[in-house]
Structure 1
Amino acid sequence: MLRAFFRTEAGSTSVLLVATAVALLWANSPWGGAYEAFWHTPMGLSFGSADFSLDLRHWVNDGLMTVFFFVIGLEVSYEVRLGQLRDRRLIAVPAVAAFGGMLVPAGIYLLLNAGGPGAAGWGVPIATDTAFVLGVLAIVGARCPDPLRAFLLTLAIVDDVLAIIIIALFYTAELSVPALVTAALLLAAIATLRRLRIWRAPAYIVLGFALWVATLESGIHPTLIGIALGVLVFVYAPSDQKLLLAGEAVQEFTQEPSARAAREATRRLQHAVSVNERLQLRLHPWSSYVIVPVFALANAGVRLDGETLRAALTSPVSIGVAAGLLAGKFIGISLGTWLPLRLKWGILPGNLVWGQLLGGAAVSGIGFTVALFIVDLAFPDPAVRAEAKIGILAGSLLAAALGWVVFRLAWDRGGVCAPPEAEPDEELPELLSVPVGPDDHVRGPAGAPITIVEYGDFECPYCGRLHPVLEELLRKNPDVRLVFRHYPLRTLHPRAAPAAIVAEAAADRGRFWEMHDVLYDNQRFLTDADLEHYAAQLDVPPWDDVPRHVSRIALDEASGRDSGVRGTPTLFLNGVRYQGRLDQESISRAIADLRRSP
């Protein structure tokens, strides 16, 4: 589910960028007057004497964006029950980070605007734009591992929920009690249908639309209803019975293909997956590729002439928004990450290091969708609204640039995980201190003329990224063998040592390399329960003879320290430290040089 989300959100960033550019070009073209005129075109429904009408911008902001927040509600429901948020230890850190990433930007904004005409805009710089952030992370590429994307997605979900609550509490107009009571009754009716397990789509569509109209009329922003309905959608893990029935239906179709069997197989397969997941699959592309870009087209158009830019350069609103997104998000998320880790309230997903976390904190200052949304609610004055939008554009661009620089600096330090206390002042040895022996874990032919010795850590993100590179090198070079030696960095990666122990337990059964591959393929999931699950799959007793396995790992660590290993991954090619980049082209070039050497 996470990987599908990443692909959709990151892929839609280009569409969102195009929509933003079109809005800016349109608003600043000779036809700029038509931009506002078009989005103020009224459109509505009439039922006899009853009339319901909004202009196009409000249909987008109040209508289509309700679907966007409905998808967020679906994500929240799924992640809490089956996904990333079900492990409370993994929620604590990004949740506190999200809270810090809202408090500090709001505080910076209010320092500049408290008591002034722009004071109501303190909510503008608090929200992170998930689509843009994931798009930037896709551009960052290998410098950003999957655990950081998972961490930022969790942070963004918490961020979105808090932003919706803030919109409901602080950006709501006068309340209409009759409409509010009607909305409450309709919501109760939907909850009752869910409780009775009545799954008739037309009933939910009719009640949902009526609830949206009632909420809009009540004065509460209808996006709150979007996320509430998303949370109510039922989600469950496929039961064994449903999987069995689906499998039988598919088997029946393969044996006797027919329209009836195809329909039955389709029905059984659909019922095996929860409504929540099916809706996410259907609505995510619409939300990411249509709704959010249309929202950007309707709201990002702002005049960027000399007069507007001069006003923005000195406007506390523009400066407050930009500073809140750039500095506030970075400081707030960094402190919000450090505090729960320091107090041991939670853990990070898998194998993140501070360089990556700081880069994630920086790009989280990209605020667009919800920021523009709150601008429309906070500022009735078009001039102030334009200044706030310029602040959003400037702050988001600067945050993206800062994130790129932080990721680049973290990567250029060598692509190696190393705790600060491991940085030596002395000159490191160049030669492998302990030659490859019969007790080593070797993959490849025993008589291979070229040997790669890797000192690795199963929780290290750079080791995880190197893993497929080395696999491909072995596949293309049958005269190369790989030796793996343990070097768990306990201060950075608390799950690395238990993972190494389980790998040694697998080695006792002759299954080291199978476990090695499983651990690297599941780096984000290395809890004791996860390790025991992997061991059970390979028929390995994970915690038998732990003292002997710890001693075996200690021998690898000692040989690594004597060889000058201070971080992971560290490679030795034919006993000599490899100092190049950890990519396939660079390592292949070093192997070719070894072949040519006498």
Structure 2
Amino acid sequence: MEPKRPSIPMQVQAFRRRRWRSRWPWALAAVVVALLLIWLVSRSPGESTPRTSAPASETPVAGPPWQMGNPEGRFTLTLYADLECPFCRSYFPVLKRWVDGNADVALQWHHLPLAAHEPAASAEARLAECAGEAGGHAAFWQAVEWVYGHTRSDGQGLPEGQRYPDLTPAIEQCLASERPDAPIRTQTAEATNSGVTATPSLRLHDRQTGKAILLQGPIEGDALLSAMDMLSATDNTAEPAHELPANTSRQ
């Protein structure tokens, strides 16, 4: 909206008429500047939105690693798993329900395809990675759930002709590349170097105290809560990493 010019009495207008004729270019310039300022002010909120909504602290963290639950929670529960592991297959929905019921925990996936389950284990891991690359964290976990729901396990892989229903051109392009191989290899090496060789295994990390505990096998919710209590204790008697024996898949 164009700003109004100042109201000037008629007597003064008559007195200044000649001087005004010589100054009209300056007045016109002032009006143009005012209109430009009004346009910038009205435009800036819409333009500033992309810049102010983009800080890393306010946007979902890209993966990998892939997480579900509360990424700002005190505890990170890393699941070392193989998509062909039968114990992982039966344990995953149980663990997912437990994480959904504990707001202070983030579940993080860590690839550990076992040699006995190859090549199906890595092929399915690649599918999950590409789904995550194309659709983010939720898409990654959706692919994991789908694989566990359809695989024959123990290295047998998916039934002949079974295709992921949410396959997109982006996922297909990713699968045709070597991109998903890097995180799978890296995470497998990290697990081996840290002494994790069985699936499923869990590492519970207290982000506040910095302490962690390694739990092997399909650990029940009560045991996980006890581990959380131990890690959050104010004393430092807990070891940085501790193993609780349980039935595991070492195939």
Q: TM-score scaled to structure 1, two decimals?
A: 0.25
**Alignment match, 1:529:** 161
Which sections of structure 1, spanning at least 5 residues, go unmatched? 1-436
CA contact (8 A) 1:455 1:485 kept: yes
CA contact (8 A) 1:455 1:568 kept: yes
- Taking the aligned partners of 2:129 and 2:113, their CA distance within structure 1 comes to 13
SS at match of 1:548: coil
SS at match of 2:167: helix
CA contact (8 A) 1:453 1:572 kept: yes
Instruction: Report the residue type matching 2:146 in the other structure.
Output: V
CA contact (8 A) 2:77 2:203 kept: yes
SS at match of 1:469: helix
Give a deviation string over 1:291-344, Cα, whole Å, max 9, x none.
xxxxxxxxxxxxxxxxxxxxxxxxxxxxxxxxxxxxxxxxxxxxxxxxxxxxxx
SS at match of 1:451: strand
| CA-CA distance at 1:479 after TM superposition | 0.5
**Alignment match, 1:507:** 132
- Taking the aligned partners of 1:457 and 1:475, their CA distance within structure 2 comes to 21
Matches within 5 A, 1:61-80: none
SS at match of 1:529: coil
- Which of 90, 108, 115 is residue 465 of structure 1 equivalent to? 90
Matched, 1:569 2:197: no
- Taking the aligned partners of 1:500 and 1:528, their CA distance within structure 2 comes to 18
**Alignment match, 2:53:** none
Distance 1:550 1:537, change over 3 A: closer
Instruction: Report the residue type matching 2:219 in the other structure.
Output: L
| CA-CA distance at 1:445 after TM superposition | 2.0
| CA-CA distance at 1:459 after TM superposition | 0.9
- Which of 19, 41, 65 is residue 440 of structure 1 equivalent to? 65
Matches within 5 A, 1:147-546: 439-509=64-134, 510=136, 511-524=139-152, 526-527=158-159, 529-530=161-162, 532-536=163-167, 540-541=171-172, 544-546=175-177
Matched, 1:557 2:194: no
Distance 1:538 1:451, change over 3 A: farther
Instruction: Report the residue type matching 1:568 in the other structure.
Output: T
**Alignment match, 1:594:** 231
Matched, 1:582 2:219: yes
Percent of residue pairs identical: 27
| CA-CA distance at 1:536 after TM superposition | 2.6
**Alignment match, 1:232:** none
- Taking the aligned partners of 1:592 and 1:472, their CA distance within structure 2 comes to 20
**Alignment match, 2:21:** none
**Alignment match, 1:110:** none
CA contact (8 A) 1:443 1:481 kept: yes
Instruction: Report the residue type matching 1:577 in the other structure.
Output: L
Instruction: Report the residue type matching 1:513 in the other structure.
Output: W
- Taking the aligned partners of 1:540 and 1:528, their CA distance within structure 2 comes to 20
CA contact (8 A) 2:213 2:227 kept: no
- Taking the aligned partners of 2:169 and 2:94, their CA distance within structure 1 comes to 24
CA contact (8 A) 1:463 1:568 kept: yes
- Taking the aligned partners of 1:589 and 1:472, their CA distance within structure 2 comes to 17
- Taking the aligned partners of 1:542 and 1:597, their CA distance within structure 2 comes to 50
Choose 1 or 2 for highest CA Rg. Answer: 2
* Root-mean-square deviation over aligned CA pairs: 2.7
**Alignment match, 1:260:** none
SS at match of 1:536: coil
CA contact (8 A) 1:581 1:587 kept: no
Matches within 5 A, 1:76-115: none
| CA-CA distance at 1:478 after TM superposition | 0.6
Distance 1:542 1:533, change over 3 A: farther
| CA-CA distance at 1:514 after TM superposition | 1.1
SS at match of 2:172: coil
Give a deviation string over 1:75-118, Cα, whole Å, max 9, x none.
xxxxxxxxxxxxxxxxxxxxxxxxxxxxxxxxxxxxxxxxxxxx
Instruction: Report the residue type matching 2:161 in the other structure.
Output: A
Give a deviation string over 1:1-45, Cα, whole Å, max 9, x none.
xxxxxxxxxxxxxxxxxxxxxxxxxxxxxxxxxxxxxxxxxxxxx
Distance 1:590 1:576, change over 3 A: closer
CA contact (8 A) 2:87 2:218 kept: no
Which stretches of structure 1, 4 residues or more, deviate above 6 A after TM superposition? none
- Taking the aligned partners of 2:217 and 2:161, their CA distance within structure 1 comes to 37
Give a deviation string over 1:229-257, Cα, whole Å, max 9, x none.
xxxxxxxxxxxxxxxxxxxxxxxxxxxxx
Instruction: Report the residue type matching 1:514 in the other structure.
Output: Q
SS at match of 2:161: helix
CA contact (8 A) 1:506 1:542 kept: no
| CA-CA distance at 1:571 after TM superposition | 0.9
- Taking the aligned partners of 2:68 and 2:234, their CA distance within structure 1 comes to 23
Q: Where is the strand percentage greater, Structure 1 or Structure 2?
A: 2
| CA-CA distance at 1:542 after TM superposition | 7.0
- Taking the aligned partners of 1:508 and 1:548, their CA distance within structure 2 comes to 9
Q: Where is the helix percentage greater, Structure 1 or Structure 2?
A: 1
Distance 1:534 1:497, change over 3 A: farther
CA contact (8 A) 1:487 1:560 kept: yes
Give a deviation string over 1:375-412, Cα, whole Å, max 9, x none.
xxxxxxxxxxxxxxxxxxxxxxxxxxxxxxxxxxxxxx
CA contact (8 A) 2:63 2:133 kept: no
